[in-house]
Structure 1
Amino acid sequence: MTRVRFLKWDGCLAAEAEAPAGTRLLELAQRLGLPLEGTCEGAMACSTCHVIVAPADFPRLGPLSPHEEDMLDFTPHVAPTSRLSCQVILEADLEALEVRLPPGHADMRGL
């Protein structure tokens, strides 16, 4: 199990939960009701699931694919540790992960 802390842009806790290995970070965030839309359902055709990974945790994740890097080039509020949460799969050896929601993030599914 991996314990994931989701922070709001201002650093306040948005949610915290545990998830088993193999869970996509986007799926966990959506189960918790966080505003990560994932419009393309993981096809990397959008960046509505963008998160900023804590610098200490970033190297422990798998590498970005060239396509994910390209999508992040068009993402607002991108940071050096940005990832698309649809591409982050929680691994068995990842005990904890902290991510921050970018400023202005909104889930447009309900509108």
Structure 2
Amino acid sequence: MPHVTYITAEGVAQTAQGNVGQSVMEVARRNGIENIVAECGGCCACATCHVYVDEKWLKAAGPASADEAEMLDFAFDRRPESRLSCQIRLSPALDGLIVRTPDRQN
């Protein structure tokens, strides 16, 4: 079962375990991770599950789809490493993934 570490803007880390195929957003919501609001429930329609993928995990997480990239235009403080956590699906290759949450979501 893959593990994801979520780090808040204040530097507080929380690691949660998920199942292969679950989204990083689903794991966060089930474990009370701060700043993962996910208003749309994971439909790539709100940008309130925005995270920053740690640099060493960018390749493994893969690029944003065109729809995701468009939705990221609405995210708070978009960066090159920005992704929507609802669009990152856990796999064995993502065991240990590190993401950071912005200090607020839109």
Query: TM-score scaled by structure 1?
Result: 0.86
Deviation per CA, 1:71-107: give whole Å up to 9, x if none. Answer: 111211111111101101001222210000101248x
Q: In structure 1, what is the equivalent of residue 56 of structure 2?
A: 56
1:22 aligned partner, one-letter code: G
Matches within 5 A, 1:1-111: 1-13=1-13, 15-34=14-33, 35-105=35-105
List alignment gaps of at least 5 residues for structure 2.
none
Shift of 1:2: 1.3
Q: Distance in 1 between matches of 2:57 and 2:96?
A: 8
Whose Rg is larger? 1
Deviation per CA, 1:18-60: give whole Å up to 9, x if none. Answer: 2221111111101111231111122211111001110110110
More helix by share: 2
- Other structure's SS at 1:99 match: strand
**Percent identity, aligned pairs only?**
37
- Other structure's SS at 1:93 match: helix
1:93 aligned partner, one-letter code: A
List alignment gaps of at least 5 residues for structure 1.
107-111
Kindly report structure 1 stretches of 4+ aligned residues shifted beyond 4 Å.
Answer: none
RMSD after superposition: 1.5
Query: TM-score scaled by structure 2?
Result: 0.89
